[in-house]
Chains A and B, each alone.
Chain A
Amino acid sequence: MRLSLDKVELEIARLWEEEARRSRATRVELMTLVALVSESHLLDRARDVVQRVARAYPLRTVLASWTDSDRPAITAEVALHRPSPEGAACGDAISVEATGSAREWLPENAERLALPDLPMCVWWVGDLPDYDRLFDRMARAADLVVVNSEEMDLRDLEKLSTVSARVRHTCAFSDLAWIRLRTMQELVARFFDDAAGRECVRSLERVTIEFSPRGGEKDVASTQAGLLFGWMANALSMRAEGVQWKRGPTWGEATLGKVVARFVHHPRTDVPPGSILRVSIECDGARFDIERQDDPRVLRWSRETPGAPVSPQTIGVDIAEEAGLLVRCLERPRRDFLFENSLHLGSRIVRPIAPRLSSLPRPL
């Protein structure tokens, strides 16, 4: 049943009263998650993701979508999230539909529906337009804005970097593709935890990042590969100025000073698009490798450093779904300077091989 927005809180209160009689569930909500569904074909996927998130992290979700119409209006439907049809309620589920120009009213109404005195996270579902007034207005209201660059082209790294700089005084900004990289970052970092590894860091010569491209992708690096190398370059205080690129049909090679970074396509259907398949690092006689095995959930980690043997490891990793990545984002709704810096540097490194933005977005 569709409701006018002023009836939403009453209806939610009524549902919780019913729930109290039914299951004696404790009402706990730690945040409001507003999912802005930019394209109608993404609505079902977004609904599925917010339901999964609510099962892992008690919150209120507001799933907002819009359709064209001459008549501007916003209406809502209300339900409670449940881990299973018989399970106790674990959050409020509000679906909001805006028609016509009422899309412009979404920011103030999302704020109206947000739980008082708790953080609000805005997840932009789908590709991010070069500039969208709604996105910027939501960013003003939110504590955390999340996008997923796995759905974007390499050129979008520059756009994200610009957005990140634009919103940094109003909210935290995160990217699900970045969250997915955490495992790979952790495994790269552990190459250099001991003295023998650390000695190699400064003599780093070559990095190879192999990735599985999105269907039809022509870029020689994925956004994840660009972010990963941006993170490594940031950690090593490298500079993007003077980067030289060579490229072939399925590879690209960037030279930054004495370091060569090679990006290689290797299509695989059993991993999410853009996923990293292999990272190899070579330094002055030492070699460090992380390689995804035939089972995509298994990585082989190996290190060859003269005089400091370490036995190779096979490591089981989760291939997190979008909901799992989003939960990890929500657990730390604060600015991630490492992400911002890595994004900024990564976008500048790949800029020569990615189409430039046609125009600069307007300021927030």
Chain B
Amino acid sequence: MTTDNPFRVGLETERIPDACVFVIFGASGDLTRRKLVPALYNLAASRLLPPGMSIVGFALTETTEEQFRQSMRDAVGQFSRRKPIDEAVWGDFVSRLHYVSGRFEEPASYTRLREKLEFLDKTNGTRGNRIYYLAIPPSVFRTVNDNLAAAGMVAEEGGRYARVVIEKPFGRDLASAEALNTDLHKVLQEKQIFRIDHYLGKETVQNIVALRFGNAIFEPLWNRNHIDHVQITAAEDIGVEGRGKFYEEAGASRDIVQNHLLQLLMVTAMEPPVAFTADEVRDEKVKVLRALKPIRGDDVKRLTVRGQYGPGNFAGQPVPGYRQEPNVSERSTVETFVAMRLEMDNWRFAGVPIYVRAGKRLAKRCTEISVHFKNVPHALLTQGAPGPGADGSRIEPDVLAIRIQPDEGITLRFAAKVPGPSMVLRPVTMDFRYGSAFGGSGPEAYERLILDALLGDPTLFARADEVTAAWRLMTPILQEWEREHLADLPIYPAGTWGPPAAFELIERDGRAWRRL
């Protein structure tokens, strides 16, 4: 890390990463093409990559370095947020790209890789620093880590660092997550492991922290005395998009609820950390998970809903149901929709229900957290109070909605008097839109997270105890669902907001899902 450089004092970038070799396992895969290399290119364009840093792709595919570079150029051209490719940036970036072909399970491949990395150390001054990005299926995490360790490639000695970035899923239940952590910890220290959840790299998610802890007006209201309930929705309007095989293994619970949705919940409900540093933030986040009431046995039926999309329409065009998607069983009982009613057992949120829902092929794409405040204690004024046009109903409570995607922003709904002689109230909204206020496109989540991994800052990465705590909540629910042996899940037509039970889940509490 950069320290004691007198020329850094007062500059915008007060620290840049130390030079390293960034090794991508699974370099011929989709993630590398769509996200990783475009993100690295954008970091280079922002001049945030250190001099000498090299990027080495490692995969089974036999290809030359030139072919690999050309393929990455195509990927950057197609998927980078900066278009067209800036030749001045690319000219330098391409010289950083290297390729080694090898097999994950073959020790000799790691010898070749190590030789390449050592050569780059000598020529580029990377001094043995390594980031290993495992863009590979979880089934080979252990193989790769063990082989890296056996080849002496993850030891941190003489001031050099070695970090391993892994992608979700971090297990498929509590037992497998604990086993994965145990495997990882056999060869790596926790500080070397960076578990990436790209939701945490989103500017809007980080802005929840800014909103709550950078303003004095919200936090005093952020508790059971003022909040009636919270809703968190992660809705996608697309189907499984060719990922049928993956989805058959994962389902909505493992694909989005156990990780992304719970991350949103943690950031929304956590206590203020004593500092915005990795362990302080993650300590507070994990406390949220520990405070969630477990859902077990009969409660699973009462407090959770699952469903699967059937044929329907998307934007006025017919679309197939889940079971008609490629690589999906005709009798699949995998859930594409989940809704849950959660509660926390802690001082701040006791008695405040948190309704979460996530699904595919819903009516629209929208990820949002909405905080619904309690109604005024005394109905002095009503919505449409006495007077012309009055309906005598109570005023709709205030809502603070944080839109994660698309059209990121924050909306506050409150009541205002309709101009005229009578005291008639109506809900109005104050809108803040990132696009309007800040313009342009900010860095993508992967750019932020890769930069943090380079800097060795794990604040926005999941810690081992966070992952196991999330599985501790989800596993009994998944087990109960398995025990039910449902021949059929509730089917909802594609393009709707999920099965009727999802509405009943919230309506029996006298509440309703917010219209998105």
Chain A residues with CB under 8 Å of chain B are: 26, 28, 30, 55-58, 90, 182-183, 185-194, 196-198, 201, 232, 235-237, 295, 297-298, 301, 303, 308-311, 313-317, 336-338
Contact = CB atoms under 8 A, between A and B. Distances in A.
Contacts, number: 108
Interface of B: 2, 4-13, 16, 18-19, 45, 47, 50-52, 86-89, 91-92, 95, 122-125, 127, 431-433, 436-437, 439-440
Contact of A311 (B2, B125, B436): B125
B89 A316 contact: yes
B9 A26 contact: no
A36 B432 CA distance: 31
Contacts of A301: 51
A179 to B, nearest CB: 10
Nearest to B6: A235
Nearest to B436: A28
A315 B122 contact: no
Contact of A193 (B50, B95, B127): B50
A311 B123 contact: yes
B88 A298 contact: yes
B433 A198 contact: no
10 A-B pairs with the lowest CB-CB distances in the bound complex, closest first:
A316-B88, A338-B10, A189-B7, A310-B125, A316-B89, A28-B436, A235-B6, A193-B2, A314-B92, A310-B52
A186 B2 CA distance: 13
Contact of A189 (B5, B124, B432, B439): B5
Nearest to B440: A56
Given A186-B47, A317-B47, A338-B9, 15 more contacts: A55-B439, A58-B436, A188-B7, A189-B13, A197-B5, A235-B9, A237-B6, A298-B88, A298-B91, A308-B125, A311-B52, A314-B88, A314-B92, A317-B88, A338-B10
Most buried by A among B7, B92, B433, B439: B7
Contacts of B9: 235, 338
Contact of B437 (A28, A182, A188, A313): A28
A315 to B, nearest CB: 6
Given A198-B4, A316-B86, A310 B19 contact: yes
Contacts of A310: 19, 51-52, 124-125
A189 B433 contact: no
A147 to B, nearest CB: 20
Contacts of A187: 47
Contacts of B6: 192, 201, 235-237
A313 B95 CA distance: 9
B54 to A, nearest CB: 9
Nearest to A235: B6
A170 B430 CA distance: 33
B406 to A, nearest CB: 15
Nearest to A336: B10
A193 B125 CA distance: 12
A293 B295 CA distance: 65
A194 B88 contact: no
Contacts of B432: 28
A58 B437 contact: yes
Contacts of A190: 16, 50-51
A280 B91 CA distance: 23
Contact of B88 (A188, A198, A295): A295
Contacts of B123: 309, 311
B280 to A, nearest CB: 26
A26 B433 contact: yes
Contacts of A188: 7
A315 B47 contact: yes
